[in-house]
Amino acid sequence: MPVYHRLGKIPRKRHSIFRREGGALYPEELVGNRGFSGSSSLLYHLNRPTSILRITRCWELAWEADPDPALRLRHFRTHQLPPVPSPTLDRTPLLFNREVALSLVRPEGADESFYRNAQGDELIFVVEGKGVLESQMGELPFRPGDYLVIPRGILHRYRFDPVPIRFLVLESAGELRTPAHYRSQHGQLLEISPYCERDIRLPASLPVHEEPGEFQLLVKSQNRLTEVALDHHPFDVVGWDGYYYPWALNIEDFEPRVGRFHLPPPVHQTFEGDGFVVCSFCPRPFDFDPNAIPVPYNHSNVMSDEVIYYANSEFMSRKGIEFGSITLHPCGLPHGPQPGKTEASIGKSSTSELAVMVDTFHPLVVSRQALGIEDKTYYLSWQERNDA
Ligand SMILES: [Fe+2]
C-alpha cells in the first residue's frame, strides 16, 4: 500500500478497550493479506462483522476457454459487448491464466449488494464513467482514466453518476503493487518513479451507517460466488488505520518517459503483480533525435503474452484498432508495426495515444465469450497488400 492512512476515530492503543456511548465495545477487525504477515488495517465497527443471518446461495463462475488453441495474433472489439445489469456479477471474461484475468463490463446500474473478492486483488481501469467507490474504509470518488486498486478482502460497492460506465477489470492472484524498483526500502516512491504519493488518492470520507436489517454480501472465492445475508449495514466502521485500503491513480498523472531514441515498454510500467506487469501508454512527445524512428521495432515476445487495451482510437504502431479494442500478441509469434506505420512515424513530434498494456509471463487463454467480438483477420493485417 502507498502510505499509512487513518480515518474516523480509533483508540490510542490497538487491541485495547474502546467503547461507544452507552458502554458497548466497538468490535475490532483486522483486514489484510497474507494472514498476519502482510499489509493490514484495523477497523472499529458498530456491529460484529461476523453476525451472519444466513448463507443464501452459491454458484460457480464459468470461465470457458476458446476450443481452438492455435497461436495467432488476435484482436477483440470490446465496444461490441452489450450493457449488463451489474458491475460485479456480469463481467465478460476475455483473457486469463492462473495469475491474472481480464474482463470487461458495461453496467447499466449499480449493485444493491456488497462485493468482496477474497481470491484476488482487483484493478479497475475506468474507461468511461464517474461515481464513488464505497468501501469499509470510506468513499473514493472516481473518474475516467482512474486505476482503482482494490486489495482482496475489502468489501465494496459502486455508486454511479448517471453517465455510461465502462470498466476494464484485472484480477490478480498475487498481490497487486507498485513496481519494486520504483520504491525505496521503506516503501516511498522514488524520484525515478513516474508517479508519486501526491498522485495517489485515498478514501477521504467515512460515512457511518447504523442500520439494522438484512444486507446481502457477495463473496468471491475459489471461482465461486457465495451470497451471505448480514444483519446490519456492513459500512458501519467508525474508524480505521493501516496500510490496507482501496486507492486510485489517474492515468493522466502517470508521467511518460521520452528518449532521444525509442525507449522500451518497461519505462511505461505502472503496476506489477505475480506473473505480470501493467504499463500505461500516455500522450507524449516522440523521441527527439532527427534520425529517430518513433514506433517500436519488431519484437519477438519471449516468456510474455502482450495485451493492449486501447483507451482511444490512436496507437502509433497499429492500424485497424478502435477505442475499446484489445489486442493479444502471444509468446511465440513476433509482432511489430503494421505496414506503413514505421515510415509514417518518422518526423512526427508527438502521439496522443492512450492505452493500458498487460504483459503476462505465462500464456493467456482466450475465453469463449471473447470469440463473438473477435476481428478474426487481424493476424493477416501485416500483409503489404492489406496496407491501406
Ligand atoms: Fe509489442
Span 276-302, pLDDT tens digits: 999 999 999 999 999 999 999 999 988
Q: What average pLDDT does range 139-160 have in this prediction?
A: 98
Residue in the block written with cell 482514466? 145
Q: For residue 253, how far is its CA from the centre of ligand 1 (angstroms)?
A: 23
Q: For residue 318, how far is its CA from the centre of ligand 1 (angstroms)?
A: 10
Structure-block grid coordinates of residue 361 = 509471463
pLDDT at 387: 46
Q: For residue 306, how far is its CA from the centre of ligand 1 (angstroms)?
A: 6
Structure-block grid coordinates of residue 65 = 476457454
Q: What average pLDDT does range 232-237 have in this prediction?
A: 98
pLDDT at 314: 76
Tell how strand 212-221 and strand 114-117 pair up: parallel
Answer for the pair 84, 386: CB distance below 8 angstroms, yes or no: no
pLDDT tens across 89-114, in order? Answer: 999 999 999 999 999 999 999 999 99
Q: For residue 331, how far is its CA from the centre of ligand 1 (angstroms)?
A: 11
Q: For residue 196, how far is its CA from the centre of ligand 1 (angstroms)?
A: 26
Structure-block grid coordinates of residue 160 = 454511479
Model confidence at 240, in pLDDT bands (50, 70, 90)?
A: very high
Q: For residue 70, how far is its CA from the centre of ligand 1 (angstroms)?
A: 20
Q: What average pLDDT does range 224-253 have in this prediction?
A: 98
pLDDT tens across 21-65, in order? Answer: 999 999 999 999 999 999 999 999 999 999 999 998 999 988 899
Q: For residue 336, how far is its CA from the centre of ligand 1 (angstroms)?
A: 6
**Percent of the chain beyond pLDDT 70?**
98
Q: For residue 79, how far is its CA from the centre of ligand 1 (angstroms)?
A: 22
pTM of the predicted model as reported, rounded to 2 decimal places: 0.96
Q: For residue 364, how far is its CA from the centre of ligand 1 (angstroms)?
A: 15
Q: For residue 244, how far is its CA from the centre of ligand 1 (angstroms)?
A: 34
